[in-house]
Amino acid sequence: MCRIGAIKSLNYVHPSQALLLMQSQQKGHDNSGFAMVMHDLGGIFESYKHLPTLSLACTDEGLKVAEDILHAAGFSRVLQWVPETNDQPGLDINAMPNYVFETFDYPKHYRKAEQKEKEELLLDMRLKLRRALEKDEMGFVYSFWPDVVTLKEIGDPRDIGTYFNLWEPDNKFTARVITAQCRQNTNYDIVRYAAHPFFLQGYTALANGENTFYLKNVEAQRKMHRGYIGFESDSQCFLYTLHYVHRELGWPLRYYKHVITPLPFEDIERREDKDQLLAIRQSLAHLEINGPNTIIGVLPDNTLFTCCDAKKLRPVVVGRSADTVVISSEVCGINEVLPDRDWETDIYPHEREIVAVDSNLEVQRWRQ
């Protein structure tokens, strides 16, 4: 079973906090990997929030191919940050030769373009890079988006932390929202892309659990959007559904739950909005999920949320202090990060509920 966690704070937080959050839950995962997505970046990226940052793990050749493609498309590099790695012997890590975080300026003719247009360009570029680097596993492009970086690695999370010097907090590499998971994929092939969290156009999702409607979801999603690719893990479907419902259909977040875990017909009949709920249930039947799972997600405006399957078969807890909210599979993770909080205010989300945390750390709970 996976263990997942997320931190959202008014202050910039270092990834060491995410490692701590996950470490205390290590009996619940198998130490086979560590992955995280950071939104709302601080440190060296703080001044470049409006420009897209590429998160790439690659070979030397892969780096050249990627940069050539971006330059050919008119992107110009404004910042490159290569984390200092600590390649000491004995570390359990299956590292790529290069980890590159590069911030680019848009091509000239895009600089005055609509936001939406830029967002489509960034997606197309990422897809293009991914296709180009797939050959001989030259590289893995995790995200190419403003104010977001992604790190994924195979190995023991503690050693991965050591390798990237993530145990020592500093103020160079920080973010206000960090989501993390400590495990490689187990359902399908072990590939770097398969590790949670998954990212698409400002949306991040990670999950603890299974998606028994994986095949149905995949068959439907493949045709829905060009960005819905890969499907290395059944949990990727949760991200794509989130993206589809919130961005493509433009529906408020609360309807995400109505899509993935629709209310039973009996309950729908009793609702005032039954026409809408029934229409959602029937039109989006192929995006329903039936497996046991807990999902944590981040929206482009950095809203953090969590929800569970319809029967609440996977655990999740939300803990809060004045300036930080932590979501974790197990409460011990929160204890590690927020030892002094009032644990009586912890939220154990209901099976028919979305708990959402906005940028002012206001917590909203929507009963489905």
Partner 1 sequence: METMKVQNVTPNDLPWKIRYDASRCTLCGSCVAACSFRAIEPKVERRRMVFSESEFPEPKQRFSAVPVIRQAHSIKNYCRGCGICEKVCPNDAIGPQRNIDTRHPIVTRCLGGDSIKRGGRKNLEATTRTLDKLRVGRISQMTDPSLDAQRHTFDLLAPFGRILPPKKLPFGVGPEGLLESKDQAPPVRWIYPVIIGDMSIGALSWRMWEAVAMATAYLNEECGLPVRMCSGEGGMPVRLLKSRYLKYMILQIASGHFGWNRIAKAMPHMTEDPAGVLIKIGQGAKPGDGGLLMAQKVAEHIQSIRGVPKADLLSPPNHQGLYSIEESVQKMFLSFNAAFKFRVPVAIKVAASATSVSVFNNLVRDPYNIVGGFFLDGIDGGTGAAHEVSLDHTGHPIVSKLRDCYLAAVTQGRQGQIPLWAAGGLGKTGDLAADAFKMMCLGANGVFTGKLILQMAGCVGNDMGRCNACNTGLCPVGITTQEPALVHRLDPEKVAQNIVNYFLAMDQEFKKLMAPIGNSSLPVGRSDALISTDKAVAERLQIQYVC
Binding site for partner 1 (CB under 8 A): 1, 209-210, 212-216, 219-220, 222-224, 244, 248-252, 254-255, 262, 264-265, 273, 275-276, 278-280, 282-286, 288, 290-292, 310-311, 313
- Report, in Å, the least distance between residue 210 CB and partner 1: 4
336 vs 353 by CB, closer to partner 1: 353
Least distance CB 30 / partner 1 (angstroms)? 12
For the record, the structure tokens of 47 come out as 């001044």
**Of 350, 354, 349, the residue nearest 366 (C-alpha):** 354
Residue 288 C-beta: closest distance to partner 1, Å: 7
Q: Which is nearer to partner 1, 80 or 364 (CB)?
A: 364
Which 3 state secondary structure label does DSSP give 130?
Answer: helix
The whole-angstrom separation of Cα 227 and Cα 147 is 19
CB nearer to partner 1: give 201 or 221.
221
Q: How far apart are CA 357 and CA 273, in angstroms?
A: 25
> Is the CB of 63 or the CB of 200 nearer to partner 1?
200
Rounded least distance, CB 205 to partner 1, Å: 18
In angstroms, give the least distance from the CB of 281 to partner 1. 9
Closest CA relative to residue 306, chosen from 341, 338, 284, 334: 334
Find all residues with CB under 8 Å of 350, minimum gap 6, and list them.
308, 312, 367
Contacts of 302 (CB under 8 A, 6+ apart): 8, 39, 40, 176, 177, 359
Q: Which two tokens stand for residue 121?
A: 């360009």
The 10 Å Cβ neighbour count of residue 300 is 18
CA–CA separation, 1 vs 15, rounded Å? 22
Which C-beta is closer to partner 1: that of 128 or that of 286? Answer: 286
170 vs 16: CA distance, rounded Å: 9
* CB nearer partner 1, residue 273 or residue 362: 273
Q: Smallest gap, in angstroms, from Cβ of residue 190 to partner 1? A: 16
Cα–Cα distance, 112 to 230 (Å, whole number): 32
| φ, ψ of residue 130 in degrees (nearest 5) | -60, -45
**Smaller CB separation from partner 1, 129 or 355:** 355
Q: In angstroms, what is the minimal distance from the CB of 125 to partner 1?
A: 25
Nearer to partner 1 among residue 49 and residue 216 (C-beta): 216
Residue 328's SS3 state is strand
Considering the complex, what minimum distance in angstroms separates the CB of residue 179 from partner 1? 21
Rounded to whole angstroms, how far apart are CA atoms 157 and 166?
Answer: 10
